[in-house]
Amino acid sequence: MQIGVDTQRAVETKRAFIIDSDDISAMGLQFMLADELEVNVVASSAEAIARAAGAPLDVILLGASVIEAEGAQVVSQLLAALPGVPVIACGPAGDAGVAEALALGARSAIVRPFKLEAVRQRVNAQIGRRAVLTIPVVLG
């Protein structure tokens, strides 16, 4: 089921990795992005780096559970292993790990509770997609 998807975006080949050991957050993000991107969910940064070898990757969504488990330096490791791929930290508002990830090079953050339009806008901004301009029309 596609929810508010521009057909041109649905046929683009853009890849995203969601690195999160919290299955609920990971599946929520995957559901929100699967109509517009090829989404792969992995539980660790090492698995993501191994799976990204040999295939282009456009964005990484890094969950707070992985930042907590592996430390905020995981952002530096991902940026070194996958140069040019933007990292978006995802977690609760005010989370210290997310703030530290931003300080270490994550380009953006998405805070919980995740909202469909906010998630898509943040991801699209990081992969270079322009926002669709809509002009409301008032009849009558």
pLDDT 10s digits, 34-92 = 998 999 999 999 999 999 987 889 999 999 999 999 999 999 999 999 999 999 999 99
DSSP string over 61-130: EEEHHHHHHH-TTHHHHHHHHSTT--EEEEEETT-HHHHHHHHTT--EEEEESP-HHHHHHHHHHHTTPP
**How sure is the predictor about 137, in pLDDT bands with cuts at 50, 70 and 90?**
confident
Q: Which residues of 73-102 are buried (b: 16+ CB within 10 A; e: fewer)?
A: ebbeebbeebeebbbbbbbeeebebbbbbb
Q: From the CB of residue 58, how many other CB atoms can be counted at a distance below 10 Å?
A: 20
Domains of the chain: 7-126 (3.40.50.2300)
36-51 confidence digits (pLDDT tens) = 899 999 999 999 999 9
| pTM for the structure as a whole | 0.84
